[in-house]
Amino acid sequence: MQYRKLGNSGLIVSAFSLGTMQFGKKMNMGGLDQKGTNEMVRFALDRGINFIDTADVYSLGESETLLGNALKGTRQEIVLATKVRLPMSGNFNRCGSTRVNIMRGVESSLERLQTDYIDLYQVHGWDSTTPLEETVRTLDDLVRQGKVRHIGLSNYLAWQAAVALGIQERDHIEKFVTAQMYYSLVGRELEFDWLSYAQHAGLGILVWSPLAGGFLSGKYDRNNPPPKGSRFADAGRFVPFDVERGYGVLDALKETAQRLGAGPAQVALAWLLTRPAVSSVIIAARTIETLGANIKAADLKLGEEDLKLLDRASHPGTPYPKWMVLQLDQAEDPRPKILDPGRFMEGGSWKDLRGTAWKG
């Protein structure tokens, strides 16, 4: 197992963290009971995972309850993360990033998890109804009270995160150290803005759905569509993506996997570990066998040609204004090549696109 810093904090976490949406039976995501949860948690810890991520909304608290039972005797040895923000009942004051809901949410999570502190407490998404100052000051209160060690955000736009960190820095209160975001070979939009901002701000990316809801496992492809009655066929894609381009990514994954003697899912996970600002990749599985195979991706080394093949198949193009920023800063300005040559190694420089032939 590889280990990394948890964003801009002193905590050390495993490069793969255990996701827990499959714990409990209220989300149709795996339905593991207490016995299954205990076995999966023990299996993960025995293989070097020291970071577990859950949320209050997962099976409406059942995931936290099962996890709390499974962690008896080992809670102090792991880094535990949970989230707050999404509705927990029909009462509209039991949702959002309000002071009332966060304070109630943390107490409920502590009780279900059978612990007196949470290592990483995350806001599950942007709340356009609640003043941002109310949210970040409440989170700061939780850290000062000792109920929370570090705080993180999830599913924010880059400008929203920048505003939040600006308020935290201005007011000298606890700052977000992580951003839990969707990222995969068929979902690389995070690279447009977010990754460079995360690097600038010192935020660690925690990747959710690294296999795009299981698509990148290679179980289904052009010639083998999801059969009627399967979760893929009935529920649709867990995350949106261009299916045709996705099939091209699968072709590249399978070619790389065959060359390395690995599985497509392992290659997809190993690729994420090469990306900048990634602190940990959250992996979840319904079975011990699948989890074990995914964990082995931490030992898989992708070569330069492997990375180029995957990039060609998956790169969605560079939107404006990023292409203009790179054009001006790297293609036309000579200083970065002298002052920061590392950015231009291994094809990392932005080529001058002026005069590029039109392909209609």
Q: Where are the alpha helices (DSSP H) in the chain?
A: 34-46, 62-70, 99-113, 132-145, 158-170, 194-201, 231-235, 243-260, 264-272, 288-295, 304-314, 322-326, 335-339
Sequence-separated (6 or more) residues with CB below 8 Å from residue 36: none
211 exposure class (CB count in 10 Å sphere: 0-12, 13-18, 19+): buried
58 is catalytic: yes
Q: Determine the Cα–Cα distance for residues 266 and 225; give it in Å rounded to an integer.
A: 21
Residue of 58, 121, 156, 182 marked catalytic: 58
Tokens 């649709």 correspond to what residue?
236
Q: Name residues whose C-beta falls within 8 Å of residue 77's C-beta, 6 or more positions apart in sequence.
A: 45, 50
Q: N- to C-terminal Cα distance for the chain? A: 47
> Which of 358, 146, 184, 173 shows the shortest CA–CA distance to 270?
184
Catalytic residue numbers, as ranges: 58
